[in-house]
Structure 1
């Protein structure tokens, strides 16, 4: 198994952990904000996918956004009050799944040598996946805090892998 394939499995594990943090929540809980300058869990879910799309697009393959209307909403450079209304849970789920499929397709092409510069893109792809995995877990920390502290739900156990540990309280690839 190539390193890219191994990291894609860890990316899937990180996304599955995210799903454990939110899939059992009600739609109202997903869009609830602890205060006016705080983002909802749903925003973090869309933002995780938004960043994954833009990193893959900008570093490995130019392609259009799977949902251009979400780009401004999910951009962390946009102040909370200017982001607009969150999409439905179904639309967020579709966006996340579509981006993950694209991550797999593009990184699979890189791992399979089906790109113009396979060695160079393998290095880029490895670092890109590490960043995507750690970014997923970074936002999982906030989702988990709101889930447990504000919404009163139990947290799932940490992902079952030797490759992930905690740094400053955050799950990260070690």
Structure 2
């Protein structure tokens, strides 16, 4: 099974793949919705970070949201047609970066045994990171479909790692490698 530090590298690789899917798009392309009952690429970007924050917060460390105003907007429990206006691309990027820094900080504290119950939290951290990586890739699939199919942009190649494969068309991390 992966060590926490190896999973953090895979998390970074998944986030880099996401960046390859959106950083060259215009703000209008990032906020465009194919129809009322779908989400913009920007929503998926915020949602990926939102889920990462809440999983880390609820499973390993109670800490405040880095951007509480985004919490309701990025919650998938809200139907697409009721999701409000997206923040700026810069704010979405900053939110994603801040959450990733917090994921790293908490996971590194766990890997370095700087937490109570370090062995138990290591088990939690491993599974949490696999879930975060696969969640990142899950939303990357939708981003890729809109990027290519609706916006006409070429897709980047799959991440350069032997630890990721496709399952039902989605990139997934093999948690037992």
Into which bin does the TM-score normalised by the smaller protein fall? Answer: over 0.9
Q: Deviations for 1:119-147, whole angstroms, at most 9, x for unmatched residues?
A: 00000000000000000000000000000
- Normalised to the residue count of structure 1, the TM-score between the two structures is 0.98
Give the structure 2 partner of residue 9 of structure 1.
9
Q: Contact 2:165/2:171 (CA < 8 Å) preserved in 1?
A: yes
Matched, 1:170 2:141: no
Deviations 1:23-57 (A, max 9, x none): 00000000000001000000000000000000000
Deviation at 1:22, TM superposition (A): 0.3
- Mapping 1:115-130, distance limit 5 Å: 115-130=115-130
2:95 alignment partner in structure 1: 95
CA distance in 1, matches of 2:137, 2:82: 25
Aligned-residue offset at 1:82: 2.1
Q: Residues of 1 paired with 2:11 and 2:90: CA distance?
A: 21
For the pair 1:160 / 2:160, whether they are aligned, the reply is: yes
Partner of 1:51: 51
Q: CA deviation at 1:79?
A: 1.2
SS in 1 for 2:17: helix
**Structure 1 alignment gaps of length 5 or more:** none
4+ residue runs of structure 1 moved beyond 4 angstroms?
A: none
- How many pairs were matched up? 173
Across the aligned residues of Structure 1 and Structure 2, the Cα RMSD in angstroms comes to: 0.7
1:28 and 1:114 map into 2 onto residues whose CA distance is: 43
- Residues in 1 aligned to 2:132 and 2:160: alpha-carbon distance in whole angstroms: 18
Q: Which runs of 5+ in 2 are unaligned?
A: none
Question: The residue matched to 2:72 in structure 1 has which SS?
Answer: helix
Q: Distance in 1 between matches of 2:166 and 2:82?
A: 33
How far has the Cα of 1:83 moved from its partner? 1.9
Counterparts of 2:85 and 2:29, CA distance in 1: 15
Q: Which residue of 2 aligns with 1:26?
A: 26
| Structure 2 match to 1:141 | 141
Q: Which residue does the alignment assign to 2:82? A: 82
Aligned to 1:39: 39
SS of 1:73's equivalent? coil
